[in-house]
Chain A
Amino acid sequence: MGAATYGSYYNTMSTSKHDKPFMPDHTVDRDRLMAYLEGRADPAEQWDVERAMENDPLLHDAVEGLSQTGALQAMGALDNARPSPGSNGRWVRMTLALSLMIVGAAAWLVVSSIMEEDVVTDLGLAQEHPATTIQEMQPLPQWEELEIEAATEQPESLLIGHQVDDRHAEAMVSMPMERGVTVEPMAPSGVEPRSLSSETTAGPEHLRRSFQQVIYLHDLKVLHPDAMHPITSQIVQAERHVPARHEDMDLRDQEEDPMRTMAYLPFMDAALAKFAQLDHKGSLTDLLFLLEQYPTDANALFYAGLCSYNLGMYERAQQYLHRASLHPTGVFDQEAEWYHALALERSGDREAAHSAMQHIVEEDGFYATRAREHLLGQ
């Protein structure tokens, strides 16, 4: 192969910066790298990335690693751990939240399986398995940057979840919370796991507690966290999942940031205060933070669904409300199903909405009358 072969190169490049072909002159940004790894780059773009690889051992190693099966898919979870600008200590909390989310989901799986097993063996009842469980569902799509900020509050006439005669707003006990207040278990309120009959009195202790601990914050129903998260009811509990090397840093952040040790109920109280004051963006932001740590939290799922709906994000609302309706405790089953049907309708899926409404009528529950009227009005 002689020098003449490279005539085109010399002609076009002799006066360019590529007079020094081995001189690194650029880095490859993430978008171009992703295009390369996903096979979307044309030959010129491929060369551009590969030339950078030849000059950059970090990029070379990274491409090698990211070419492995599952690597690109796993990068979404990595993005969740990005340091948050302008908030000292918050990023550390975020990384902990990620760990807690995984542990929380695993713990929930264990608890759920124990609950189901106990019901069948101890009570002799056939557990009613929903067609889909929360655990079987795909992870919720990530929120885009500024998605909440860009959302529009709906007119008050279109808002849901704020009527005094809503099922979740039956103010049996109103208990405004203050930060740091310890919450004692409340008296039984009649909320049952969906698969148990009302006559059932025997059963595992943790299962009985699950339908005894319904409280109301700002006249909004909340299932006590002990009924869902027996391991902890703290928002971000650094001590449990932090490598030993972070201990000093955690203590420092803990002193600087009271959110690190905030108990569940005060946190939920603040979130629902915003909801009650029609600050759905603020409430949703808080609830999403909680869901990072407790992905199957019934309270957060339900009220995040209402907030999403009231911000006009109906597909998001469907996702949260559907999960809330499937929650094993059944604490929001009827209201979540009702609002889910409304969200289906608002997002234009009239057929699915009609079917969901019919189901509510057939179940003859709390929202049967509203659903019937709604169907007649269509």
Chain B
Amino acid sequence: MFLRRKSIATESDEDLVARVRKGDQAGLGDLWDRYAHLLFGVGMKYLKDTERSKDCVIELFTELPALLAKHQVERLRPWIHTVMRNRCLLLLRGAKHHEELKEDRSLPAPVEEVGEAQLREADLQRLENAIEQLNDLQRDCIRLFHLERLCYEQVAQRTSLSVEQVRSNLQNGRRNLRIILQHHVDQQAR
């Protein structure tokens, strides 16, 4: 009756969304298995409170069938992340109930960051050219992590940086790579 069901879902998010839209509770359960713990983590990041985070996840899933019926969701993962994050932020701001619903209904589709597609599709040769244009720390972190496949801690040991500095350099390096690659695409288009 209340026992936890192990996630056995192998269907795509899109298939599960379609099932939920048809009123399939099992599909909702599979989505829960796939996302509830992640969304709870998102809640913890913003709310820093286990009860509020838990309530927020439960509320989101309670309303998920209705939300999916109203929204044309092409990619569930970024969409549900945005919904959860927005709800947390609204809670932090003390938003009232109706404002929260309004926010959900008018939620825009997540926009992929400029250059992300180029970064993902970039082959090694193009990446090497772009990586060479990064500053030393970003270049080292990007190479060690993405090319040599060292984990954060190992990269930190190799570079004498802290794990947080490694993550920061990876994030900034990634952003710069996107810009570089997008700039290259723009130049070619001219």
Contacts and interface: CB of A to CB of B under 8 A. Distances in A.
A65 B45 contact: yes
B74 interface: no
Given A1-B139, A9-B148, A86-B26, A80 B2 contact: yes
Nearest to B142: A21
B148 A82 contact: no
B21 interface: no
A159 B57 CA distance: 43
A84 B97 contact: no
A6 B143 contact: yes
Given A62-B37, A85-B5, A22 B42 contact: no
Contact of A50 (B53, B127, B151): B151
Contacts, number: 197
A143 B145 CA distance: 41
Interface in A310-362: none
A81 B1 CA distance: 11
Interface residues of A, number: 74
Interface in B1-56: 1-7, 23, 25-26, 28-29, 32-33, 36-46, 48, 50-51, 53-54
A163 interface: no
A61 B85 contact: yes
Interface in B137-179: 139-140, 143, 145-154, 170, 174, 177
A68 B77 CA distance: 23
Interface in A80-101: 80-88, 90-92, 94-95, 97-98
A145 B85 contact: no
Nearest to B47: A65
A240 interface: no
Nearest to B85: A61
B190 to A, nearest CB: 25
B121 A23 contact: yes
Interface residues of B, number: 67
B148 A83 contact: no
B78 interface: yes
Interface string B99-128: 001000000000000000001111110011
B59 interface: yes
A70 B77 CA distance: 25
Interface of B: 1-7, 23, 25-26, 28-29, 32-33, 36-46, 48, 50-51, 53-54, 57-59, 61-63, 77-78, 80-81, 85, 97, 101, 119-124, 127-128, 139-140, 143, 145-154, 170, 174, 177
Given A50-B152, A71-B53, A74-B54, 14 more contacts: A20-B120, A21-B146, A54-B145, A54-B174, A59-B38, A61-B42, A65-B53, A66-B41, A68-B44, A74-B50, A74-B51, A143-B2, A145-B3, A243-B59
Interface of A: 1, 3, 5-6, 8-10, 14, 19-24, 29-30, 33, 43-44, 46-47, 50-51, 54-59, 61-66, 68, 70-71, 74-75, 77-88, 90-92, 94-95, 97-98, 142-147, 243-246, 249, 285, 288-289, 292
